Structure 1
């Protein structure tokens, strides 16, 4: 049995489709037999988000549907604005898109809750909330009503690097006036903490950092940030990523294109997106563990943020969220669900983790 065949069986089991379906005779409807040749717009120039996210999905969905759904993946900017992938998909320029929902925070800050922000729980808890406590259904309904697209998670990362910086950043005082590249709600929060944040697409970050247009950037995790090479022009690596404890990414689908899929192939898309999401999490976690040594060998100085910065970040984030909930019904609905989940999991580390001495 090939690796992809194993993946398909695991994915189908994950959405409750039994072996009987997998072993059923190859009798399909006309709709199911029709081949869909789709384009996928992305926000990425390359790297893990492209390779183990968008391209991994395209490879697996072709296999899972026996070639009925074929997806051609395009890099950020090839089919439209890299920061406006959902708009590209809604307008039918591409049938699918892969993006981070938080880029749309200017239209609706609820996207920050679904894409992760400074007040979010960690990735393990986010996965449980999404797939076991109604988060996926809330995301689907929210994007259907507010953006006119079909939406589901695709790819998730562990906590990000706080900054790759040309300047040492340890304390709140070090944040003052810092020109940093960011995105989503962290733009507002970083500004409140004294920084001077700006946003830009991924492909523009390295030259801006190299030329000193910005002092620092956040982007992804330890492993993800190796490929763009920020560490080559910024000697300080600041951890942990309190601004982004988790980051689920989004697969968005044009509604008219989605309606053309058979019910079976719709379920295959959902199962494949879920499979890629879990595989991205385990892959990134393992690669992160190996990557810190690369930065050390490259001469980067590893700085751990002072507790005052970590505590202040959480305080500012929760205060920001409370303000959004007061005026945004959808934000309140999602936030209430996440806070109820967090309360249910309160103290979970006592029975889920065992203290070990490192070193």
Structure 2
């Protein structure tokens, strides 16, 4: 009895000591967003989940775009140690290495369901982490994903290739080059500047997020037309970047906690956006917007232009080739999935 009592006391003492040894952390997070779903169900939701899962040991203070650094340069802010981590779209760094758009989505990407499978079950997340470390010296993992975006909120009707000619549109990533080759006049700017640019007529149109996400910025108040579907961006995974020194402060268990929180936040964002998008068309119609579906010719042309662009870049960029080949192999594996996953129904579009 005495021996058992001592053993029990020692077990409690050791357990208490182990708990006491768990470190607390206070991190800062830079973001590319001033608010909206990317902040609320992305960066902020992730920070809250980490705090909950760590019983408050790991705190992440989230800052809006422009507070710690420029909204389009979150990765630079994190790399320089101004922030411990950041929430961004990797494609903003396409000027440094165009491989970033393969992880962030472009006109040649598959849809979000396939992208999620590629990321989490076909090696995409591992490639993303390896690429970011190798080229940028950052720790990286997916955090948040969109379904297909709205093609444009536009002051002018757009449905044909001819309508794209000379159209001044705000965009980012690969679509800057691809849309220019299709006749448009693209520019890039942070999301917070887009409303004013549209209101003043500095641009004719913008792409930004999905139907639901675009309610918050209010583009519908300064444009008449909602153009769908988002052929330029069939999917849009976003990214958590972490400074290597800050990452090294975490134990292996806490690193896994961060990965788990990022995964859960990503899946929850996909489900939330998908459901709310289904309700958003009625909102825009009620606001007096006209919904225009792009001609099939534009949809085919955009994807083909995206794939052709990707092959050109892959010919001269080894990392781009490696990631593109992985995605193409996945696409080939899934080519017949519609036959065994989708059941035809009458009247289905």
The Cα of 1:32 is off from its aligned counterpart by 6.0
Matches within 5 A, 1:189-228: 189-228=178-217
Find 2:342's aligned residue among 315, 329, 353. 353
Give the TM-score normalised by the residue count of structure 2.
0.94
Q: Is this contact kept in 2: 1:160–1:245, CA < 8 A?
A: yes
Q: Does 1:341 align with 2:330?
A: yes
Q: 1:94 aligns with which of 83, 97, 104?
A: 83
Cα 1:255–1:298 change in 2 (3 A) is same
Whole-Å Cα distance in 1 between the matches of residues 136 and 56 of structure 2? Answer: 29
Alpha-carbon displacement from aligned partner over 1:104-126 (angstroms, at most 9, x marks no partner): 00000000000000000000000
Gapped regions of structure 2 (runs ≥ 5) = 1-13
For the structure 1 residues 207 and 126, does the alpha-carbon distance in structure 2 shift closer, same or farther, using more than 3 Å as the test?
same
Q: Which residue matches 2:63?
A: 74
SS at 1:128 equivalent? helix
**1:40: Cα distance to partner?**
0.3
Task: Tell me which stretches of 4 or more aligned residues in structure 1 moved more than 4 Å.
Answer: 25-32
Looking at structure 2, the residues matched to 88 and 303 of structure 1 have their Cα atoms a distance apart, in angstroms, of 39
In the TM superposition, residue 100 of structure 1 has moved relative to its aligned partner by: 0.1
Q: Alignment partner of 2:291: what SS? A: strand
Q: Distance in 2 between matches of 1:84 and 1:28?
A: 42
Indicate which of 133, 149, 161 corresponds to 1:144.
133
Residue 150 of structure 2 aligns to a residue whose secondary structure is coil
Report the alpha carbon displacement of residue 357 of structure 1 after superposing the two structures with TM: 3.3
Contact 1:32 1:264 in 2 (8 A): no
- The 1-side partners of 2:122 and 2:317 are apart by 22
1:289 aligns with 2:278: yes
Unmatched 5+ residue regions in structure 1?
Answer: 1-24
Contact 1:32–1:68 under 8 Å retained in 2: no
Question: Which of the numbers 129, 140, 146 marks the counterpart of 2:118?
Answer: 129
What is the DSSP-based 3-state SS (H/G/I as helix, E as strand, rest coil) of the residue aligned with 2:214? coil
Deviations 1:144-173 (A, max 9, x none): 011111000000010000000000001000
Query: What are the within-5 Å matches in structure 2 for residues 28-107 of structure 1?
Result: 33-107=22-96
The alpha-carbon deviation at position 47 of structure 1 amounts to 0.3
Secondary structure, in 3 states, of the residue corresponding to 1:242? coil
Which residue number corresponds to residue 3 of structure 2? none
1:5-24 map, 5 Å: none
Deviations 1:192-221 (A, max 9, x none): 000000000010000000110000000000
CA distance in 1, matches of 2:324, 2:303: 15
Alpha-carbon offset, residue 347 of structure 1: 1.8
When residues 168 and 207 of structure 1 are mapped into structure 2, their CA distance, relative to the original with a 3 A threshold, is same
Residue 274 of structure 1 aligns with which residue? 263
SS in 2 for 1:339: helix
Q: Which has the larger radius of gyration?
A: 2
Structure 1 residues 266, 301: closer, same or farther in 2, change over 3 A? same
C-alpha deviation, 1:31, in angstroms: 9.3
Q: Secondary structure at the match of 2:33?
A: coil
Deviation, structure 1 residue 27:
5.5
2:148 partner SS: coil
Two-structure CA RMSD over aligned residues (Å): 1.3
Which residue does 2:170 correspond to in 1?
Answer: 181
Indicate the residue corresponding to 2:296 in structure 1.
307
- Residue 355 of structure 1 and its aligned partner are, at CA, apart by 1.7
Distance in 2, Cα, partners of 1:27 & 1:73: 31
Following superposition, the deviation at residue 35 of structure 1 comes to 1.3
Aligned residues: 335
Once residues 342 and 26 of structure 1 are traced to their aligned partners in structure 2, the CA distance between those partners, rounded to angstroms, is 49
CA distance in 1, matches of 2:86, 2:181: 32
> How far 1:356 sits from its partner (Å)?
2.2
Whole-Å Cα distance in 1 between the matches of residues 17 and 111 of structure 2? 41
1:32·1:261 contact (CA, 8 Å) conserved in 2?
Answer: no
Q: Secondary structure at the match of 1:145?
A: helix
